[in-house]
Amino acid sequence: MYLRRIFSIQNAAMLGVVIIAALVPLQLGNNQYNMVLATTVLLYAVLASAWNIIGGMAGQLDLAVGAFVGVGAFTSGTLLIRWDVTPWIGMPIGGLVAVGVAVLIGFPMFRFKIKEVWYALVSIALVEVMRVLFLMWGEVGGPTERYLPIDTWSWYHLRFNTYMPYYYILLVMLVIVLLVNRWIRDTKLGYSLLALGEDEDAVEVLGVDVRAAKLKALVIYAFIAGAVGGLYANIYGFIHPTVFSTDMSVEVMILGIVGGLGITYGPVTAAIVLVIIREYLRAKLGGELAGLYLMVYAVVLILVALYQPRGLVPLFNKGWERLKSYWGARQRERGIPTSIENK
Amino acid sequence: MNVESQPLLRTSNLTVTFGRLVAVNDVSLEIYPGELVGLIGPNGAGKTTLFNAIIGLNRPASGAVFFKGVNVTNFLPHKICRLGMSRTFQVTRAFVHMSVEDAVRVGAYNRCNERNVRDKVDEVIAFCELNDIRKRVSSDVGLASLRRVELARALATDPDLLLLDEAGAGLNTTELSAFMNLLTQLNQDRRITLLVVEHVMRMVMGVCQRIFVLDAGSLIATGNPEQVSSNERVIEAYLGKRA
Amino acid sequence: MAETFVQSIITGVMMGAIYALIALGLSIIFGVMNVANFAHGEFVMISMYLTYLIGSTLVWDAVATPLITVPILFAFGFIAYYLLIDRTLRESYVVPLAVTVGLGIFLRSMALILWKAQPRALQYSIIQGNIHLGPYMILTSRLVAAIASVLFIAAFAYFLYKTWAGAAIRAASDDLDAASLMGVNYHRTYALTFAIGSALTAVAGGLLMSFQQTDPTGGSRFGLLSYAVVALAGLGSLPGLLIAGMIVAIAEALAMSFFDPRSRLLAIYLVFILILWLKPKGLFGRK
């Protein structure tokens, strides 16, 4: 029974996508622009898949990813600039710092009986506040960019003259995050999270410590975001308070919702589609209309929220189911026995 | 009926207020292990509020709740559940998007770890006769079955004391008899102490060994079914004072 | 030192009244529908831009613009409710929130595209100049705005407690089932609430434009301070809202004077977090 789950269609499809994704850079190799695009897609795919844990499974609207990524970037970047600490160490440390911030916010907000909406508000404000804080904190931040050491090919400094290594690192991270998603789902934490998203009171009475569950989800997600932040700093080559971006928070949330709350492969799918649309818009319209993509994102979000709140990926599932039953019907017409599905 | 000297659940001068409204007024009661006790009273008497206060969903204004000798008055519900108390809700609060067996599994994790949780789920589902609908999404399940799902969920937490809030409402005669048998089974075979809020008198009189009567937040009578049904104050409460 | 302190208090008290007015719209929406309108700050920002447009093209004084902007925002709120919120209320709590986030982002992007990032301001209105009380300076327009805010809040209190529509709103916020049994159509009441909440931002926007400038990013700041004020005040008390507004404004003024002018956001956030930590129901909350 377990084997059957591992070999489900979705897992197979995702494995296929991962393999294709792994081959992409070999094809794009020299086209720098497309490599950047692909890397950006992966970046958002990782963030959105991590966000899925708190936003999709736990059902808490979180808009703090900009804060976690920023804090991770500054931690890892500062460690690299000041003390030549490799980002391989800096990234996990950045993740831990992000966790610290997350717990600071989550602990008071996740208390029983506090309306969940307060967490959402606190989280979106957190990003802006961090930005101002780091702008004022001249020692570490300040108004000018701080550049990371430049190397043509250094695994220690994690600086390269091409995007390819970053791409693969992100790909590995994505696989890990997806596995984490799947793993959570099959354990007590996953069941607790999904249930508390339905009815917090009912779930408390069944023995689920709601606050602890939410905190666990938050911590896992914050760690991943913080670690990604460290990599982010290396990809862009500098750290600056603008890395604390509410736009990023909103975009990640949109990916999570459009993909389908709680659906493991949803955010990845949404990332592929929406980020490509975004870059296309940015390239085509450019200049003053650059902000238009955000309007488009907003409209997509509103439309999805209104008409398909469960996300777009379930639509694919439904389409797939229809195809299967159609095929099954045709086979039956021809008198060929089809496999017995367990329903 | 085996009655030990130490009460399983004890409330002491429990009072719950909402602003100036006193919903539960100075209620002191005791329930012993192995009992099947009913809690009745006219609408608005405060029965559900009392339940909520016992299980930790509402903070009492004064008084205390003791479970297994432990003062659980200000405990969060999940801690109380860990100790061995669980409840069902009057308006079924199903996990709408989850399947029946997933919902039961949430409760099962209270006492089980990853290794034996599936067995527990199977066992509870079998007991509550939910096998044919176990994979169905809760929103797809009919009311009577939903009641059983809610019961199964609470049962999966392995409680020593189970609070049932109007679980018999809206059931037809056959369903009601089946439910009454289920309660007796839970109480006798599985040794679960039950505190049952009910309006369906047939059920209360039929299975409860002892009954508490609540009116306007105060406890006005206790006793076995015969005593309670002939108690003047109880009759008054239900029918209104005689002019 | 002491002078700066007192000056901050004076400014804070005045701004506080205005902040309370901004937060009022949010407070009733939140109190009645339990929906946090993430776009609230953006509504204020849009009101300010509309005021700017009207003020510069029709050459009206900022304080007269609410005559036009209020109905516009009222209609906008009404439509926004039916289009966006009404349907999503039944779903999990995430969906209506996400929708308002989307709306806010939409408005902000639109403002950025239409008006670019430069701040806009109106020519000074008839209310000009300063009043001097010893060493302290009071901006006349700010004082007028503050007084007007208090008057508006009082007028709103009258509406809430002495009219049928107001009673419907109060009833809906207390107990929805009972209210609908009494014949209150909850859809319409919600729509009305949302519309009124939005219209109030128009008043605040007009008052603000008499002495401030507007830019597309102002929305997030107004949003944060509205929430801080609502959290601090708690739901259900109008005077409490005024006091909460003043506390937030004073904290902001003090931080800017004594710490760093850029720290205004930090001060507000600190108040926000502290109150949620220590007294989640707010200082004067009933629920």
Residue A336: per-residue pLDDT: 60
Residue B80: per-residue pLDDT: 94
Residue A210 or residue C63, greater confidence: A210
Q: How does DSSP assign A85-152, residue by residue?
A: --HHHHHHHHHHHHHHHHHHHHHHHTSTTS-THHHHHHHHHHHHHHHHHHHH-TTT--SS-EEPPP-S
Q: Which of B115, B137, B158 is the last residue of a domain?
A: B158
Residue B162: per-residue pLDDT: 94
How many distinct structural domains can be found in chain B? Answer: 2
Q: What's the average model confidence in pLDDT over A130-154?
A: 87
The 10 Å CB-count burial string (b at 16+, else e) for C246-266 is bbbbbbbbbbbbeeeeebbbb
Pairing of strands B62-67, B70-71: antiparallel
Give me the domain span that covers residue A249.
29-333
Give me the domain span that covers residue B216.
1-84+161-169+190-243
Please measure the distance between the N-terminal and C-terminal CA atoms of chain A and give it in whole angstroms.
14
Cα gap B38→B212, rounded to integer Å? 6
Chain B: residue whose CA lies nearest to A202:
B93
On whether the CB atoms of residues C19 and C248 are closer than 8 A, the answer is yes
Q: What is the pTM of this model?
A: 0.88
Residue B84: per-residue pLDDT: 92
Residue A55's contacts (CB-CB under 8 Å, 6 or more residues apart) are A61, A62, A253, A256, A257, A261, C94
* Total length of chain C: 287
Beta bridge partners of B67: B9, B70
Does residue A124 carry a pLDDT above 50?
A: yes
Looking at the complex, report in whole angstroms how far the Cα of residue A113 sits from the nearest Cα belonging to chain C: 9
Cα gap C222→C160, rounded to integer Å? 24
Does residue A337 carry a pLDDT above 70?
A: no
As a whole number of Å, the CA-based R_g of chain A is 21
Q: Which of B75, B78, B81, B91 best probes binding to A when mutated, by most A CB atoms within 10 angstroms? A: B78
Does residue A339 carry a pLDDT above 50?
A: no
Tell me how crowded residue B29 is: count the other CB atoms within 10 A of its CB: 20
HSE, CB side, 13 Å, CA atoms: give it for residue A72.
32
Contacts across the A-B interface (CB distance below 8 Å): 76
ipTM score: 0.86
Contact assignment for A205 to B78 by CB distance below 8 Å: yes
Residue A254: per-residue pLDDT: 92
Find the helix or strand (DSSP H, E) in which A191 lies: helix A188-198
Cα gap A293→A306, rounded to integer Å? 20
Does residue A1 carry a pLDDT above 50?
A: no
Q: Which residues 161-200 of chain A have a CB within 8 Å of chain B?
A: 187-188, 191-192, 194-195, 198-199
Tell me how crowded residue B189 is: count the other CB atoms within 10 A of its CB: 9
Q: State the DSSP code for A336.
A: P
| Chain C residues touching residue A302 (CB < 8 angstroms) | 84, 99, 102-103, 106
Q: What is the CATH number of the domain that holds A265?
A: 1.10.3470
Q: Which has the closest alpha carbon to C252: C236, C238, C272, C230?
A: C272
C184: confidence class by pLDDT, cuts 50, 70, 90: low
pLDDT digits (tens, 9 = 90+) for C221-276: 899 989 999 999 888 788 889 999 999 999 999 888 888 888 888 888 988 888 88
Which residue do the tokens 């622009």 mark? Answer: A33
Q: What's the mean pLDDT when you consider all of chain C?
A: 83
Which residue do the tokens 């029946």 mark? Answer: B100
Q: Which has the closest alpha carbon to B218: B20, B25, B23?
A: B25
Which residue do the tokens 């409840």 mark? Answer: B87
Q: For every one of its 243 residues, what pLDDT tens digit does chain B have, with 9 covering 90 and above?
A: 444 578 999 999 999 988 778 889 999 999 999 999 999 888 878 888 999 999 998 889 999 999 999 999 989 999 999 999 999 887 777 788 888 999 999 999 998 888 889 999 999 999 988 888 888 888 888 877 888 888 899 999 999 999 998 877 777 888 888 888 888 999 988 889 999 998 888 888 888 999 999 888 888 888 888 888 888 888 887 776 544
Question: Where in chain C are the domains?
Answer: 2-278
Cα gap B102→B97, rounded to integer Å? 10
| Chain C residues touching residue A246 (CB < 8 angstroms) | 220
Tokens of B15: 């009072």
Q: Which of A302, A304, A308 best probes binding to C when mutated, by most C CB atoms within 10 angstroms? A: A302
Are B44 and B104 in the same domain?
Answer: no
How many distinct structural domains can be found in chain A? Answer: 1
Integer CA distances (angstroms), C219 to A122, A161, A171, A278, C238, in order: 16, 40, 37, 24, 23
pLDDT digits (tens, 9 = 90+) for C6-57: 888 888 999 999 999 999 989 888 888 778 889 999 999 999 988 888 888 8
Chain A: residue whose CA lies nearest to C112:
A291
Does residue A99 carry a pLDDT above 90?
A: yes
- Closest Cβ–Cβ partner in A191, A192, A205 for B87: A205
Q: Is B116 part of any domain? A: yes
Contact assignment for A136 to C262 by CB distance below 8 Å: yes
CATH 1.10.3470 applies to domain C2-278: yes
Among A37-41, C158-162, C282-286, top mean pLDDT goes to: A37-41
Q: What is the dihedral of CA A127, A133, A139, A144, to 10 degrees?
A: 70
The 10 Å CB-count burial string (b at 16+, else e) for B161-175 is bbbbbbbbbebeeeb
Q: Which has the closest alpha carbon to B143: B175, B174, B113, B118?
A: B175
Does residue A176 carry a pLDDT above 80?
A: yes
Q: Which has the closest alpha carbon to B13: B29, B26, B30?
A: B26
Q: Which of B158, B179, B205 is the last residue of a domain?
A: B158
Contact assignment for A132 to C265 by CB distance below 8 Å: yes
Percent of chain A at pLDDT exceeding 70: 89
Q: What's the average model confidence in pLDDT over C174-178?
A: 61
B94-98, B102-106, C181-185, C208-212: the lowest-pLDDT one = C181-185
- Closest Cβ–Cβ partner in B76, B89, B109 for A202: B89
C183: confidence class by pLDDT, cuts 50, 70, 90: low
A143-152, A329-338, B210-219, C96-105: the lowest-pLDDT one = A329-338
A41: confidence class by pLDDT, cuts 50, 70, 90: very high
Q: Which of A306, A307, A308, A310 best probes binding to C when mutated, by most C CB atoms within 10 angstroms? A: A306
Contact assignment for A191 to B109 by CB distance below 8 Å: yes
Contact assignment for A59 to C92 by CB distance below 8 Å: yes
Which chains, if any, share at least 3 CB pairs under 8 A with chain B? A
Q: Is A222 part of any domain? A: yes
Residue A202 touches chain B, beta carbons under 8 Å: yes
Are B76 and B1 in the same domain?
Answer: yes
Percent of chain C at pLDDT exceeding 90: 16
Contact assignment for A208 to B78 by CB distance below 8 Å: yes
A269-278, C164-173, C268-277: the lowest-pLDDT one = C164-173
| Chain A residues touching residue B118 (CB < 8 angstroms) | none
Contact assignment for C105 to A295 by CB distance below 8 Å: yes
Residue C36's contacts (CB-CB under 8 Å, 6 or more residues apart) are A117, A120, A121, C26, C30, C97, C100, C227
Residue A73: per-residue pLDDT: 96
pLDDT digits (tens, 9 = 90+) for C154-164: 888 888 888 87
Cα gap C248→C225, rounded to integer Å? 8
pLDDT digits (tens, 9 = 90+) for A300-322: 888 888 887 777 767 666 776 77
Contact assignment for A302 to C116 by CB distance below 8 Å: no
